[in-house]
Amino acid sequence: MNVREGMRRLALILGVLGAILGGFIGQVYNAGEHLSAGESAPAWFIGSIVGFLIPWVAVRALSWVLTGFAKSNQP
């Protein structure tokens, strides 16, 4: 069983879903806050980046820890 490859795929999938959700939330924030001021801030872009990085880093860190425990248990 290749845990590292599975965790990479999981990190990528969750990162993409987080980017989509972050972009949507950023767009909603942008429409609600800045529409009245006449400005257009790139909140959807920042939300997409943060939405990708948070789950991606979390899964990669979890993978790093689990891989370390799996290697330490081998004789």
The average confidence (pLDDT) of the chain is 79
Residue at 23: amino acid letter: G
CB of 30 within 8 A of CB of 47?
no
Residue 29: how many CA atoms within 13 Å on its side-chain side?
Answer: 14
pTM: 0.72
Using alpha carbons, list the distances in angstroms from residue 47 to 19, 52, 56, 74: 7, 8, 14, 41
pLDDT digits (tens, 9 = 90+) for 22-57: 888 888 877 666 555 555 557 778 888 999 999 999
Q: Rounded to an integer, what distance in angstroms lies between the CA atom of residue 75 and that of residue 65?
A: 18
In this prediction, residue 63 carries a pLDDT of 86
In this prediction, residues 2-24 reach a mean pLDDT of 87
What three-state secondary structure class fits 62? helix
- pLDDT of 16 above 80: yes
